[in-house]
Structure 1
């Protein structure tokens, strides 16, 4: 089911949104029927369904799977070329590689030409949605910093590359209609430059030269945009020199990239160079985005999930510009869009479009109460606030359909794709239902499943860690410090093991971070531990099977070095997200080599069984009252 969208037809596109969301259930049923009919003769579905192509049989006979379940089929496609009718009726055109940093392991996802058209539809639909909320976007350009990653070939001859590299190198992107809402400051040649440093430099140069035309700036993820700001901090003087002389630095050696830049950078501009020099040479870079690109209306970056921790840093640089998260997507499938793009980052919800895939949902249960009573229910590594997904057999094989989800409930997303051969596939994302647009539910991204720290029986999720770090950084922000990046690992080199957090800090003035007050940072360690769950605090305070938490402050550039390492190992610049828990010894070594100071928690976190039970009772009463 391919639906087209003309981004220049604002009225028609918004009517389409109304139709899709009003008739969400009808479209979902059509989608499932089409998927089953089209792929009925594949080896995978034929062996499970036979001739029983209906929803009841599909949910009864097709198991819910994760990547390890489908990996053998993908390996056959990659290594032996068994692509035709193995898992998809359409030929597999390439394999899309995930960043490998969200869920811990890189994955390769099959895709087809039709999938590319479906992704393009979603991108086109974003144009009228943004135009509805922001006026005048047709009167200027977008400075989007976009990058590709070099691709590889599988033994069977298929191309393997990140999903965004696939899109940017596709005919859909290269031959896209240059409608009035979709004009970039970056020439395609700079986006398609495989040298990320040359690409970054040239895209920033083009963006600065065209600063008076820029109406919106952004990147895919918040981390990528902040990496560009850090790059600008390091190279603004050289960029000013290029603008002042009308020349391009000799180290830009990519011919296509160089020629494209020089078609824009035609002559010296002393006035612009002096302006950039004045702004970038100022004591503080607070509000630098608005100062350099004064007509900018918003920053377009994903700031949900693990990207939420970048919000304070983005706000520091933005000069009050709105932070807009427009879409929800993954390597496996593109899911939906934000129909209220100017909402606060904490309120961002995505509407899943019913024609993108067939969606199902596994309920996720809160069970603080069970944890307090000692029933340590554990499942796939997550505990605490969003503790445990009931396994399929516990649910009787039943899942919840798209239009059947309930307000305020948490779910794990399950998708069945049209042509990519993923049937009842666990994406690994935990979502919460925040409302409905017509009959289509809207979801807030909560966290990834299986991203954890663990020393003993403790299981700290990505969401738990983010909440704890958010609480701790409140202690240093009044002193002028910004936490710009963090990650962690479980150090088990000694007994007992302990959590290690790497923090990269930025000071609003010129104070040396090596002058950090020890007592303040030790309090930060304590605040992190106090904010973690009951099990962790019990193991630390009573059982002593987890050692005191440690924060290692690293110097500026440490997380750039970490990203460079992961990119060298196959991650994409576009899709890279700082892993919140790292296990690579080399990655840990890189960060340890850049540690400025180290601090440990000097007192045990609070833990008392009776009071914990009392707290949980209060939370339970508040929850019941809130929904009564």
Structure 2
């Protein structure tokens, strides 16, 4: 009976899948969506079983993964011990924190079915994520119930696009607009057309932050476009793209009036006021973008739960969040996704670097993560270091927040750092130092005494930094204020999407942010 039912479901799935959108009505798309959800639940059960099996013996699972990464049988003496002995940390390559290009996910329900048969499927993560999301937020996978904000230039396909044909309210063309800001504007416009949205999704929390920034700056133009059913002539779009997008629009004066009324009321909780049926915000929120998540929770997305489905670092996927209802994100590290090593950090971590394997980490200890993924790249977290002092970006952020709290009326909007060596001869003859650029709200200028507070906080938080400052081998921090919107422009200038780099490594980007300094 079960096999017969499965055969009927597969037959219906095959029939519906071959009924392409061009030749089928909307009921056909809805049927495909419904069938894909049924197959998704079945595949998720198998993938959970695969993950449980891999997690029972983490050491063996990691050894199998490393063998695959090293080339299988071609690798002489494969294994973690031989790998670490032959490839010390100092000799391994690094991509400098850039996100490598990953191959596109296989598409369609048949790929979903095949994915359940193997533990190392590239679809394991998305399958688990979508299943968890639908269990905790039952309406989150409704047809056209999700607004996606992401710039497609170099960006991977959305996690759900390959399986659920009409999940998103935004057409694919909206993500191919050449300009980042224009793409977000178009995506926001199509999202505003759907009052019954259940979820807001973004590849990164900074993209949702920028999209709602577009709403704040341009809601009157968006309301006009909604009312007319046409895109603003001031929006820079290729003519063919503009024509295709406008074919999907229709005048909606009532929705335009609602948008004007809600934006006039202010920005506290505006997302839930514009979309009353919203259930969840789905974003990737790496540590370098924590600032944007905090700002959204306090203002535009007030009262909405945030679900961060994956834990990743420098483009490598490491774990999945199976508990979206928890306010603090927790992740299950998946031993078949990346080979993980842990470098002891924090107090008492001295001596030559020797990594600890995933199966040997100790609860309560602090580590720096070292990864080897499918691209064969090893990565360490970003740090500031002009004399080998090694100030991690997340701890620098805490010191910066402490300094900002000493500036009456100031609120930190954004920041970025650079080492003075990146300036070359233009940095002058002074000792190596940190260049720090901040955008503030509530304060237009800082005295020299206020600027020095940051250097004092760094000395208090990092004894090694304090020692170098005392010796004069590291100079005082140079703190600069930039114009409002400078960091949104910096993300546009960076080109390819990726988490905000808090430590700049490119002269081009450093010169760009320098050109926005106002004090």
Q: Distance in 2 between matches of 1:520 and 1:313?
A: 27
Kindly provide the CA deviation profile for residues 299-333 of structure 1, in whole angstroms up to 9, marking residues without a partner as x.
Answer: 22222321222233122221222222111235664
Q: Which residue of 2 aligns with 1:506?
A: 441
Is the partner of 2:300 in helix, strand or coil? helix
Match of 1:593 in 2: 515
**CA distance 1:501–1:228, change in 2 (3 Å):** same
| In 1: Cα distance, 2:364 partner to 2:345 partner | 11
SS of equivalent to 2:508: helix
**Mapped partners of 1:128, 1:174: distance in 2:** 14
**Normalization by structure 2: what TM-score?**
0.76
Q: Counterpart in 2 of 1:321?
A: 304
SS at match of 2:464: helix
Alpha-carbon deviations, 1:135-180, whole Å to 9, x = none? 332446111112222xxxxxxxxxxxx4x34x36xxx9765333xx
Q: 1:463 aligns with which of 394, 419, 423?
A: 394
Give, in whole Å, the separation in 1 of the partners of 2:189 and 2:80. 57
1:312-362 alpha-carbon deviations (Å, 9 max, x no partner): 312222122222211123566432211122333xx42321223334x3423
Distance 1:255 1:121 in 2: 39
Alignment correspondent of 2:28: none
Match status 1:176 vs 2:107: no
Label 1:28 to 1:258 Cα distance change in 2 as closer, same or farther (>3 A).
farther
**Within the alignment, does 1:546 sit opposite 2:477 as a pair?**
no
Q: Which residue of 1 aligns with 2:293?
A: 311
**Conservation of the 8 A alpha-carbon contact between 2:198 and 2:279:** yes
Give the count of matched residue pairs: 464
Please, which moves more after superposition, 333-342 or 214-223?
Answer: 333-342
How far apart are the structure 1 equivalents of 2:249 and 2:243?
10
Residue 335 (structure 2) aligns with: 354
SS in structure 2 of the partner of residue 303 of structure 1: coil
Conserved? CA contact 2:201–2:282, under 8 Å: yes
If asked which structure has higher relative contact order (CA below 8 Å, sep 6+), I would say 1
The residue aligned with 1:204 is 188
Q: CA deviation at 1:37?
A: 7.3
Q: Structure 2: which 5+ residue stretches go unaligned?
A: 1-34, 116-120, 421-426
Q: 2:428 aligns with which of 465, 469, 493?
A: 493
In 2: Cα distance, 1:342 partner to 1:520 partner: 45
Question: Residues 145 and 458 from structure 1, CA distance in 2 versus in 1: closer, same or farther, beyond 3 angstroms?
Answer: same
Match of 1:143 among 142, 147, 166: 147
Give the alignment of 1:422-433 within 5 angstroms: 422=376, 425-428=377-380
Say whether 1:125 aligns with 2:156: no
**What is the 5 A alignment of 1:197-346?**
197-210=181-194, 212-250=195-233, 251=235, 253-254=237-238, 257-267=241-251, 269-282=252-265, 284-315=266-297, 316-329=299-312, 333-344=316-327
Q: Take 1:270 and 1:281, find their aligned partners in 2: how far apart are those partners?
A: 17
Please state whether the residue corresponding to 1:122 is helix, strand or coil: helix
Structure 1 gaps of 5+ residues are: 72-99, 150-161, 371-376, 380-388, 392-398, 429-447, 508-512, 598-628
The alignment's C-alpha RMSD in Å is 3.8
Residue 21 in 1 paired to residue 52 in 2? Answer: yes
Structure 2 distance, partners of 1:522, 1:34, is 49
SS in 2 for 1:213: coil
- Cα 1:412–1:228 change in 2 (3 A) is same
